Chain A
Amino acid sequence: MQNSKSRSLLFTTITVVYAMLILFPVFWMWSYAFKSEADMFARPTVWLFTPTLEHFDYMIENGFHHYLINSLIVSAASTVLVVIIGTPAAYAFARYRSMKLRDDLFLFVLATRMAPPVCLVIPYYLLYSKFDLLDTYLGLIIVYLTFNLSFYVWVLSSFCRDLPLELEEAARTEGYSRIGAFVKVLLPLLRSGITATAVLCFIFAWNEFMYAFLLGGQTVKTLPVGIPSLITTQGVRWGEMAIIGMVGTIPVMIVVFFLQKHIVRGLTMGAVKG
Chain B
Amino acid sequence: MTKISARQSSAAETAPVDETADYYRESPWYPYALIAPTMVTLTVVALLPFLYMGWISLHEARYGQIGDFAGFSNFMTLLGDARFWNSMKVAGLFVAIAVPIEFMLGLVGALVLSQNIRFRNVLVPFLFIPSMMAPIIVGLVWKTMLAGSWGFFSYNILERFGILSGTSVFASPDLALYGLIFVDVWQWTPFMVLTFFAGMQALPASPFRAAQVDGANPVQIFFRLTLPMLAPLLFVIGLLRLIDAFKIYDTIYILTNGGPGITTESPSVLGYKYTFDFWEIGTASALAVVIWIIFFAFCNIFYQIAKRRLNVF
- A residues sitting closer than 8 Å to B (CB atoms) are 4, 7-9, 11-12, 14-16, 18-19, 22-23, 25-26, 28-29, 32, 40-45, 85-86, 88-89, 91-93, 95-100, 103, 105-112, 114-127, 129, 142-143, 145-146, 149-150, 153-154, 157-158, 161, 165, 178, 203, 206-210, 214, 224, 227-228, 238, 241-242, 244-245, 248-249, 252-253, 255-257, 260, 263-264, 267-274
Contacts and interface: CB of A to CB of B under 8 A. Distances in A.
- List of 9 A-B pairs having minimum Cβ-Cβ separation, nearest first: A207-B134, A92-B34, A89-B38, A96-B31, A119-B288, A123-B49, A88-B34, A118-B271, A112-B46
Contacts of B9: none
B123 A19 contact: yes
Contacts of A123: 49-50, 52-53, 56, 285
B221 interface: no
B291 A8 contact: no
A45 B116 contact: no
Given A89-B38, A96-B24, A272 B45 contact: no
A245 B137 contact: yes
A85 B20 contact: no
Interface of B: 1-2, 18-21, 23-24, 28, 30-32, 34-35, 37-39, 41-42, 45-47, 49-50, 52-53, 56, 64, 109, 112-113, 115-120, 123-137, 140-142, 144-145, 149-150, 152-153, 155-156, 186, 190-191, 194-195, 198-199, 202, 233, 236-237, 240, 243, 246-247, 249-250, 253-254, 267-268, 271-272, 275-276, 281, 284-285, 288-289, 291-292, 295-296, 298-300, 302-303, 306-307, 310, 312-313
B313 A125 contact: no
Contacts of A96: 20, 23-24, 30-31
Main secondary structure of the interface of A (DSSP, over half): helix
Given A126-B64, A273-B2, A117 B134 contact: no
A129 B142 CA distance: 35
Contacts, number: 318
Contact of B64 (A41, A129, A224, A264): A129
Given A22-B129, A96-B31, A178-B30, A122 B21 contact: no
A14 B240 CA distance: 28
Select the residue from B42, B118, B237 with max chain A CB neighbours within 10 A: B42
A89 B170 CA distance: 45
Given A26-B141, A228-B254, A122 B236 contact: no
